A and B are shown apart, each in its own frame.
Chain A
Amino acid sequence: DGGITQSPKYLFRKEGQNVTLSCEQNLNHDAMYWYRQDPGQGLRLIYYSQIVNDFQKGDIAEGYSVSREKKESFPLTVTSAQKNPTAFYLCASSIERRRNQPQHFGDGTRLSIL
């Protein structure tokens, strides 16, 4: 079954710690995205990648980093520089970024501070 897998489902971060959220897709999509979702707010774009070895900052990239070494994988690292990391993180993919095609989402990772 094709889809997007995010892991872990729940993650806890200690003060000063970097944590990495995993996102894997087997849809053969070129474009991948990371969003942050806070209660009562719309999704906000952290980073996106149009193709392997390329990625661009979104609207709220500070305190986050990504890599895109493989087409199917787009991990997100929440660094210690991100002072308010508690949120629901969603990964998405689409066939291409600029085509009018929907983005498909994983089931998210909930990150909390210990």
Chain B
Amino acid sequence: GESVGLHLPTLSVQEGDNSIINCAYSNSASDYFIWYKQESGKGPQFIIDIRSNMDKRQGQRVTVLLNKTVKHLSLQIAATQPGDSAVYFCAERNPGGSQGNLIFGKGTKLSVKP
């Protein structure tokens, strides 16, 4: 199967608990951030995004928090379910660097115990 999860930080949670996945981004000039979910053998799936003029954004069962002071992004998943098991990674866009392209983190593997 897909080996994208090898050698990644792992977060193990009990079904029904809340999960918090963290991401430290690299550039203080980055103005846009995205969280993706990647299941084994599949492409990344968009979860939620946030612009730098916001501190918090909520979706269905997910919340993204942005702390620009310490360049930190987090994804909170409420009432975690077995179907949430996947690799989660963040992406940032620095309009002045990397040709304005997205820069992707390495990811965190979320494992949900039933």
Contact = CB atoms under 8 A, between A and B. Distances in A.
Given A102-B46, A106-B43, A42 B89 contact: yes
Interface string B85-114: 000010001010011111111110000000
**Chain A residues touching B, range:** 20 to 34
A32 to B, nearest CB: 12
B42 A97 contact: no
A102 B49 contact: yes
Interface string B60-85: 00000000000000000000000000
Contacts of B100: 97-98
Interface string A87-113: 010101000011010111111101000
Interface residues of B, number: 32
Contacts, number: 64
B43 A105 contact: yes
Interface of B: 2-8, 31-32, 34, 36, 41-46, 49, 51, 89, 93, 95, 98-107
Given A37-B4, A39-B7, 16 more contacts: A6-B43, A35-B104, A40-B6, A40-B7, A40-B106, A42-B89, A42-B105, A42-B106, A58-B99, A90-B44, A103-B102, A105-B43, A105-B44, A108-B42, A108-B43, A110-B2
17 contacts: A39-B5, A40-B8, A41-B106, A42-B89, A42-B103, A42-B105, A43-B44, A45-B102, A58-B101, A90-B44, A98-B95, A102-B34, A102-B46, A102-B49, A105-B36, A106-B43, A110-B2
